[in-house]
Every structure is written in structure tokens, then in C-alpha cells.
Amino acid sequence: MKTRKLRNLEVSAIGMGCMGFTHAYGEGPTEAEGIRLVHKAFELGCNFFDTAEMYSYFKNEEFVGKALKELPRDKVVISDKFWPTPLPGQDMPEGKLSEAGIRKDIEGSLLRLQTDYIDIYTEHQMEEGSEEQVAEVMGKLIKEGKIRAWGQASPTLEQIKKAHAVTPISAIQSEYSMMERKWEKDVLPFCKEAGIGFVAFSPMGNGFLSGKYSAKDSFAKNDLRSVITRFSKENMEANEPLLALVRKYAEQKGCTPAQIGLAWVLAGWDFVVPIPGMRKEERVVENLGAADVTLTAEEYGALNAELANIKIYGDRDGKDIKKMGTVPDNVVR
């Protein structure tokens, strides 16, 4: 597996998003099968595993802790995210983003992950006005060895700059794919200039770019795609030209549409690391295999030129996701 740098951390070019093992995409695999798939990914060269305390309210961290406990700790990179407000069972009258609150939070995560340190600790949702305060605490945690690096999730450029000036950020984590490119305007160029990595979640548009779903498919209420507007029947039909384009390049390159989606993310910026979810062995092999699918500069430019003429319908709006009944706030990325 090729590797990439998230400032001070070297990780596999493609990581594994672990959220779906316990949460948000309907019924997942058994715990034993999930652990086997994590180990399979590791065998194939993936060393970067992403979780969050928000996912299933701590259960995902517990799952990742069990799965990675059997692997050499110095060979894996754990990406974890902390939520800015108290979650069920968390008593933090001092405020979640205060130094005391963050310290309570990370101690709980370390216990669930069964480790002494977290490689990259990310603020999961940004709270306006707290950037410098959080960055200062992150600097202390780095000096104490509790974390090796830190990051922000879906921040604005201004929020990045404020925090980065206090304690250097190693990675921004945000949605990035052919279907969501807003970060190309200012955030990605700044990351390149400042030496900050970028972790791309939903790099295949929550699976849409894999071509494995159609307007005929329906999604269970505990599947976040049931509220993501790009998965409405009308929008899936309207986005067929995008899938046709992806399939055309997949045929030309002798790979799958999913691999083209991931190869596109890798081709544009050498500091971007996609973290697709994968809950079946064939998906693990397929997704990680995308690291060996190379789009030349000419192919990448031609693909983008065609993308410029295709309108994308629907999006992945956190406000919509929060409306989910049985899986409320903790499906937010």
C-alpha cells in the first residue's frame, strides 16, 4: 500500500472509515466479522482507522478498540473524534470544550479504545469562537503524549487559520468526492500551503459513485441514506450522467466505478487520504485496491472537464441527517 503524509503522520493512502460497523448504514456485520474485516484491511496494507465517540454513542470506539487490540499498536494510526457538547451519560458542567471537559473526554476514549494515546484527535463539529481555546488544549495533550496530532472536522478556512496559529493542525476531515467539491475553493489550497493533511470521508458520495444503487432501491429508517437528498428517487435518476461518466473511465482503466471514485480523490492532491466505509470482504479488497489505480494528469484533467458539464443533484446535509428518527444526532460526520 502506498502511503501519504498528514503533516507529521504517515498513513496508508486509503484508510478505513469504521462508522458503518456499528451504526448509520442499517444492519451491519457481527462484531466478529467486523473485526475480521479490520484485520483483512490491515493485511492489505491499510493502517489508518477512523472512529468517533459520537458513532453509536461510544459503541464504535469500543468496537475499534477490540479490533485494533490484536494488532501491533505502533503499526496502526487511530483517528478519533470528540463531540463539542455532552453526549448521553457525560456529565461536564464545566463545558465539553473546556480543558477539564476535553481531558475527561479523552480519558473515556482512551479506555474504550484500549490504548495509551490517540494518533489524531479531531474536533468533530466546530463551535464558533472556541478555536484558540481548543487548540491550546490540543497542544498540551500533544506535549503530554496523549495524542500525536489533532484536527478539525468540516471547518471554515477562518476556523482553520485561528486554530492552526495556536497549535499546528495535522489534518482537516471533511466530505470530499466528485459530488462534493466546495473545499477546493479555499480549504484545500490553504492545507497545501500550510502542510496540513486532508481526510476525505464519504469519498464515493456515501456509496453512490460505486454504481451499486439505483432509483429502485429503498433504505431502512436506520440508514442515513434514507434522508440524504442525493439518494431520493428523483435525484438518483438525475445523477445518472455522473455514473455514466464514472463507468466510462472504469471501463477504460479496467477497474470498478468505486475505484475510479477513489482514484479521483487521490489524483488531485497528494495530501488527501480517503476513508471509505467497507463492510464486506469484497469491498475491502476493491476499495484498498484503488490505491493502485492511477489517473494520469491528462486523464484527471479530462475527467474534471467532463465533470464541469454535469450538474450534481442533492447533497449530504447534516441538517437532513439530524432528522433521522432512530439514529438522531450521532450519524453526523
Side-chain-side CA neighbours of residue 97 (13 Å): 19
For 25-74, the pLDDT digits (tens) are 667 899 999 999 999 999 999 999 999 999 999 999 999 999 999 999 99
pLDDT for residue 223: 72
Q: What pLDDT, on the 0 to 100 scale, is given for residue 316?
A: 66
Number of domains in the chain: 1
Residue among 11, 119, 23, 16 nearest 67 (CA)? 16
Residues of the chain with pLDDT under 70: 24-26, 215, 316-333
Say if CB 226 and CB 220 are below 8 A apart. yes
CATH number of the domain enclosing 241: 3.20.20.100
**CA end-to-end span of the chain, whole Å?**
26
SS3 177: strand
- Strand pairing partners for 4? 11
User: Residues 268, 204, 63, 289: is their CA dihedral positive or negative?
Assistant: negative
- Positive or negative torsion for Cα 60, 66, 68, 73: positive
Q: In a 3-state reduction of DSSP, which class is residue 154? A: coil
Name the residue range of residue 202's domain. 3-331
CB neighbours of residue 29 within 10 Å: 16
Each residue's pLDDT tens digit, 262-283: 999 999 999 999 999 999 999 9
Q: How far is residue 166 from each of residues 118, 126, 131, 159, measured CA to CA in Å?
A: 20, 16, 9, 11
Give the helix/strand (H/E) hosting 198. Answer: strand 197-201
DSSP state of 86: P
Which residues are designated catalytic?
55
CA distance 231 to 208: 8
Cα Rg of the chain, angstroms = 19
Please give the model's pTM, rounded to 2 decimal places: 0.93
